[in-house]
Structure 1
């Protein structure tokens, strides 16, 4: 087994050399926010979508657009507004007078990287138009279904829902995001570095340093990364504790949880843990890999009750209690 893990580690290190190049290129523009950059890389390699939540001006859009330029592939930015229509995303059928028939006009979703900027400023019917594309990687226009290009990645940003002019995302769509990352303010030193970088007359120029082939090769390695059965048991216990808190010594939180993480959350947590091991150049998963992505994978998959709202208990409190209660192998 040790020999197999060593061979997998060699394969991981051979296929992960582009990661350091991306991080170095990103650091020229995005100061600090290492966690956000790592989670963007995780979503990209895991073939999952990511939702960044934070106040305006915290470099969410900048980070996503910069990553799209670093990876030499197609990119479309969609600014979500209250008057947006589903056809503005997926396309529609238009009448061709020359041929006397309706022909499809494909929308901007037919690209590789999609930046859904301020996704919660559009009503639910528009947000729901993303569901088929995000899950099945296809779009239906009229009677015809079209496969989307690979890689296909939706990177969305949203302001906190208590901001004016925002809508709550439907539960079905939120669950389609593999990761939901909350962005916070930078530190004082990082703020100073941002000021100096953005005030400099010589702004750094971003160059493509990774290709689609690099990403697809990395994705082919992820399933090979070893996860010990004890680590698998640890992962399952974490997810089950969000569904049946009393069975895991969390009786105090049972009245706060309406429902826990779905099997999709289990698969997402396992895949993100493997990608985290990949980003660290390892061919095996550790409990720390699961912990490092656990909050961002599970936070948005737990629904809280009215009692939780009354007691000011949020999902982060529940996930933190779950990780504290489950014994680490």
Structure 2
């Protein structure tokens, strides 16, 4: 285990009857890091996150979250952890500010300094809805309230399960901005998402999970280079087509223009992408002996 990490997982296994959902998963999330957990439906993402949150008992393996086993975390440990679920049963008759103030009082009682309810409503884009009853909110507005409820206690570690589901583009940008602010303030974030572009924008590191196994772990750029291959640069020099594969397209193009200047025409750079990486890994996993048996 890694005492300097916010989350450390070693050999995590989960079995339901005769079915293994997680097969010896290893994971480390450093303090202040944002890690995205990617994978198709049924990959085991939600099961893994629920174990880390302390909501589900594991079958085997070692887990430490903020220095404690989440299966035995007390209320002071839980106050340091924020959780944004895909959905939750809210209190429809409560008003937005009323609910956030009630949640904040719990953290105050445990010696933490929660968000002011009004300031938090403004931060998630619900300032104009602060006195509105929750049952009258739209789906996207309820999702903003989910996020507010997850961060009201200013958590040291935040778990996000598909955080921007139902958001319009403007709300998604606002959410991403808020998450970047939290990261800048030192909050550790572990997010599950199906949105590859969202993972690239938000995450310092990406972990790809499929069929309960970690397929890859690295920054978006590292994964793209490792799996999808090098960037490809195409151009014409004195009318002749050229192509070159490189791990650093920017440096190569700079050198190309320094050497040939105006003689370069029809320049095109195709960068290895996270989407290519993800699809290649999942296809390979599905055709492997383990994947074929799913």
Both structures adopt the same fold (TM-score exceeding 0.5):
no
Greater relative CO (CA pairs within 8 A, separation 6+): 1
The structure that has the greater radius of gyration is 2
TM-score (norm 2): 0.28
Q: Of Structure 1 and Structure 2, which has the larger fraction of its residues in strand?
A: 2
TM-score (norm 1): 0.26
